[in-house]
Amino acid sequence: MTAPLPPRSGLAFLRHDVLNLFLMRQLHVRASVPDGVVVPRSASSRLRLAALMTVNLTLLSGCLAPPPFEGVGRPAPPGALPGTCWDTLIEPARVETITEQVMVSPPETAADGSVTKPAVFATETRQEITRPRKETYFQTPCPDAMTREYVSSLQRALAARDLYQGEITGTLNAETRAAIRSYQKDIGIDSASLSLRGARSLGLSAVVVDR
């Protein structure tokens, strides 16, 4: 579903009305000419009309609402605040193979109740989803915050917890990401992408206090 556009400002309505009035006047002039009479229009006149329409349409486009989640790091959950960045933690579906015996034909018995022909069974195998795929969003520091100094501080913080043994390079190399994953497993985020929660617990990002 597309989100409704907010009401336009008075300036937007004014621009829209001016454009409509201009076009109506042009149409009125053309409609008032008798049939069979061609009114020549100079090239400069046509260029002025095209330029005016382009300017007005450009001004009107600036009054429209931005797309949903404009300026939000993707992927993002519905309702994410502009300027926030997110990542996803995907837990794949669990599929199990189930094998069972299915009766193809029942046993045949005699009048005295004795079995004259045993039941026939067949082995059937099927796959069943025992746990659906789960996708969880978590907030992250935005890319512009992940400076070389920030990543260097991250590596030092992980090294102080014996999770990172590499050099302080200020780059998110594979060893740093592995250390991030090891650290965040304890807070329930099994991801090599640094979460905002993990960054705050490491003392790298400010903690927002609600008042």
Question: Can you give the pLDDT at residue 18?
Answer: 44
Distance (Å, whole) CA 181 – CA 143: 18
What's the distance, CA 138 to chain centroid? Answer: 12
Question: Can you give the pLDDT at residue 50?
Answer: 53
Collect contacts of 24-27 with beta carbons under 8 A, ≥24 apart. none
Question: Can you give the pLDDT at residue 89?
Answer: 86
In the chain, what is the greatest distance between 2 CA atoms, to the nearest angstrom? Answer: 110
Mention every residue, 6+ apart, whose C-beta is less than 8 A from residue 15: 56, 59, 60, 63
Low pLDDT (below 50) residues in the chain: 1-16, 18-19, 22-24, 26-34, 37-41, 43, 55-73
Which stretches does DSSP call E strand in 54-189? Answer: 85-91, 94-105, 108-109, 115-117, 120-131, 134-140
Burial class (CB in 10 A: 0-12, 13-18, 19+), 207: exposed
Question: Can you give the pLDDT at residue 15?
Answer: 45
Question: Can you give the pLDDT at residue 45?
Answer: 54
The secondary structure of residue 6, as a DSSP letter, is P
Distance (Å, whole) CA 104 – CA 123: 10
Question: Can you give the pLDDT at residue 42?
Answer: 53
Structure tokens of 133?
Answer: 């795929």
CB 61 within 8 A of CB 71: no
Identify which of 135, 134, 127, 130 has the alpha carbon closest to the alpha carbon of residue 94: 130
Question: Can you give the pLDDT at residue 73?
Answer: 47
- If you count DSSP H runs as helices and E runs as strands, how many of each does the chain have, helices first? 5, 6
Question: Can you give the pLDDT at residue 196?
Answer: 95
Question: Can you give the pLDDT at residue 65?
Answer: 38
